Chains A and B, each alone.
Chain A
Amino acid sequence: MTPSQPNESRRSHGWMGIHRGHKARPLEWFAEKFIFLVSLSAILMVLLIFLFVAREALPVFFGETNTALVQKPIPPAEMDKHSPAELQAYLDLTPDQFTKMDKATLRDLMAVKVEAQDDIPENFRNDPDAKINTTEWKYLVAPHQWDDYKKPEYIWQPVGQIKKFNIIPLFVGTLKTTLIGLFFAVPLAVGAAIYVSQLARPRVREIVKPVIEMLSGIPSVVVGFFALLVLATVLQTVFHYETRLNAFVAGIALGFAVIPVIFSIAEDALTSVPRTYTQAALALGASRWQTAWQIVLPAALPGVFAATVLGFGRAIGETMIVLMVCSASVMSWSVFDSARSITTTIAAEMAEAVNGGPHYRILFMLGSLLFAATFLSNMAGDFVIHRFKQKLEGKK
């Protein structure tokens, strides 16, 4: 369609006064380049998201943060014995701040630091936990026996004197709510997709499909509100569990948000199975259901699988529903206990976290893990759908 071939546009001098390529139509040429540049913004945004979320989290990944309450104080007099990098880490400064300060300011800061160490209550000074840098990877992922506890435990407790940042409870909370949501949503959404694409009459299909897709138009904060006020009470009266707000309620509410995603992708995959498959099966005497279950569904299985994967990506990224329904971080696999997902933790604690402090960095670290997880599940889902469509087209 493009009139200018590449070898023509390279020829910049006119031939017998006739200009070709971008010399002939400079406006067209500029417009095309401009449109191309603007369309790169989507790539730029993905890169920027990755860069800037990871940038804030880098100190945690490299183990540069230190939360130990009791540190070996360095007297200001011994300042010259240490390298600038050591001093900067010791004073919790960014490189930018560090280079701006002159020696006198640094000396004052160090004096303050020594005083602060002296101010720590006596009972903490002898506490072995107070000497621990809790942002080391060892404490982030492995259980640790804290002072008052009887056995090693996973604890996320970013407040108090000794901040505990074990991220395992958050992973468990995320998985718990997400899996409940998927167990609820996948059968319903896939069932409805089979019904709408294979069994329903065309007129019913035309009404039902947009109605189910309307569900995705409900803001997640409204779903969360509904779960908090109505669903929690209903489910408690049905299942008779103790805590009213728990991972189960959050999971079901997550399911509401995920159903339209899974439904529309699965329905799309089921509809794109060639009609000849269906016709052949029906001609051989199969019933409608047998055709749908034994012929169409296996043929569309990659698409349905991709729908589930994309639904998973949507569910682990959902914030407001879990934030409103349950919040306490407990290390428990029971579905009727509370749970705190990664997204919830970021949303609830970012306001309290000191800009640039260890807590802030760890929340960004969680964000970048979340980004990586959804990035991978999106890639996998898209890849499977792409292959599936190509295969169907090849067979047509």
Chain B
Amino acid sequence: MNTITPSEYLPDRSPDTTRFTKSFRADKFDFWSFFFSGLTGLATLLIIGILAVILVNIIYNGWSAISWHFVSSIPKKDFFDANTTGVLPMIVGTAFRVIVMTIFVIPVGVITAIYLTEYAANTSIITRIIRAAVNNLAGVPSIVFGLFGLGFFINFVGKNMDKLLHNSGAVWGQPALIWASLTLAVMTLPVVIVATEESLKAIPPGLREASLALGATKLETILKIVLPQALPGIMTGGILAVSRAAGEVAPILFTGVAYYMASLPSHLSDQFMDLGYHVFVLSTQSPNIEQTRPILYATVLVLLLLTFALNIVAILIRARVRKKLRALQ
């Protein structure tokens, strides 16, 4: 028997059942149903309203303060001065740390996802442990990642590197861009794994079977058939990871961010300035909040454009891929 979806279950569409619907449906106006349905609708509207107010407030106030000079100039020591300040070092620092992070996180995340979908038996204990670890990694507070970066990367890896390389001072055993990037890579690993896994699972098994039936080995099937199909999904994962990492401040607080630097970061062991941290500094340590307000809004707008634009691109790619895969199936 065909199932009838509730939206189709309307009296006027199917004249045969009118008799029954009349006697079974609550055709009296039910006040409480209306009231509570309205409440949930209001909750939805309120959430959308919050999002809209945040976005409109930032775009409205930030748009008037943003300028090419602001985006492209390096500020002097006193970056609270609205006329001379700029955010170029912060944009460069954020971009630099995110790119280095991507180099580490994408290969590891994609390979883990390939193992989980293509090789692992779903019931084996090791697969379940890996899945539990990924879920847990996704829930660890970002500040704990910061502590981990300090305790592991700087105090353990970095200090031992200095010892091995016989550096006179602390070169690697101090906050640096590479440590911030690695900390963020650990943090965004689950994002990449989950997105890649989702896109691998959506590929119809028929494609793999056809490839195997033609004599390709498993590795060839994965490299030549599965991965090209999954590429947009992997990109989505990468973009989501980048947008998540670009906005995070807590993990880099002790692992590499600097309050002020006169030059742009050029080496992996350099410290760097960061957009998100700059927002934090501007909004909490400004000597005169009224004067800093325009540059604060402009900085937030730049940060939001970076992270939000990436998010929207990811959502669009994902929607297109889903549509395409639905057609394939």
Contact = CB atoms under 8 A, between A and B. Distances in A.
Interface of A: 2-3, 25, 27-28, 31-32, 34-36, 38-43, 45-46, 48-49, 52-53, 55-56, 187-189, 191-192, 194-196, 199-202, 208, 210-215, 217-226, 228-230, 256, 259, 263, 275-276, 278-279, 282-290, 293, 310, 313-314, 316-320, 323-324, 343, 346-347, 350-351, 355, 363-364, 367, 370-371, 374-375, 377-379, 382
Contact of B50 (A215, A279, A382): A215
Contacts of A228: 283-284
Contact of A45 (B107, B133, B279): B133
A217 B30 contact: no
A222 B307 CA distance: 11
Given A194-B40, A279-B3, A324-B280, A378 B135 contact: yes
B189 to A, nearest CB: 6
Contact of A230 (B57, B116, B219): B57
B183 to A, nearest CB: 10
B132 interface: yes
Nearest to A383: B132
Interface in B128-153: 129-130, 132-148, 150-152
Contact of A285 (B25, B133, B155): B25
B68 interface: no
B257 to A, nearest CB: 10
Given A219-B303, A287-B33, A289-B33, A36 B57 contact: no
Interface stretch (B4-12, B69-77, B230-238, B261-269): B4-12
A52 B114 contact: no
Contact of B147 (A42, A53, A222, A225): A53
Contacts of B112: 38-39, 41-42
A225 B279 contact: yes
Which range contains the number of B residues in contact with the other chain?
35 or more
A375 B246 CA distance: 25
Contacts of A379: 132, 136
Given A49-B144, A374-B140, 7 more contacts: A38-B115, A42-B190, A210-B315, A218-B51, A289-B32, A289-B34, A317-B144
Contacts of A199: 37, 40-41
**A-B interface, 7 closest residue pairs, ranked by CB to CB distance from nearest:** A219-B247, A317-B141, A191-B43, A39-B115, A289-B33, A217-B311, A195-B40
A316 B119 contact: no
A149 to B, nearest CB: 30
A217 B308 CA distance: 6
Interface in B44-73: 44, 46-48, 50-51, 54, 57-58
Contacts of A276: 3
A48 B152 contact: yes
B311 A319 contact: no
A200 B138 CA distance: 30
Contacts of B130: 39-40, 42-43
Contacts of B283: 224-225, 228-229, 324
A278 B137 CA distance: 36
27 contacts: A39-B114, A39-B115, A39-B130, A41-B112, A49-B148, A53-B151, A187-B43, A188-B46, A191-B39, A192-B40, A195-B37, A195-B43, A210-B315, A211-B48, A212-B44, A213-B315, A217-B243, A224-B280, A230-B57, A259-B47, A279-B9, A287-B26, A319-B141, A319-B249, A343-B250, A350-B147, A371-B140
Contacts of B39: 191
B248 to A, nearest CB: 7
Interface of B: 3-7, 9, 24-26, 30, 32-34, 36-37, 39-44, 46-48, 50-51, 54, 57-58, 107-108, 111-112, 114-116, 119-120, 129-130, 132-148, 150-152, 155-156, 186, 189-190, 193, 217-219, 243, 246-250, 253-254, 276-277, 279-280, 283-284, 293, 296, 300, 303-304, 307-308, 311-312, 315
B36 A285 contact: no
Contacts of A217: 243, 307-308, 311
Binding site of A, secondary structure by majority: helix, strand, loop or mixed? helix
B40 A191 contact: yes
A276 B142 CA distance: 41
B142 A215 contact: no
Contacts of A377: 139
Given A35-B111, A39-B112, A287-B26, A370 B143 contact: yes
A3 B217 CA distance: 9
B250 to A, nearest CB: 4
B253 A350 contact: yes
Contacts of A218: 51, 54, 247, 304, 307-308
Contact of B24 (A223, A283, A317): A283
Contact of B247 (A49, A195, A220, A314): A220
A192 B300 contact: no
B54 A350 contact: no
A382 B137 CA distance: 13
Given A45-B189, A218-B304, A382-B135, A275 B140 contact: no
Contact of A256 (B32, B37, B50): B50
Nearest to B128: A386
A195 B25 contact: no
Contact of A46 (B4, B42, B137, B308): B137
Contacts of A371: 140-141, 144
Nearest to A317: B141
A221 B279 contact: yes
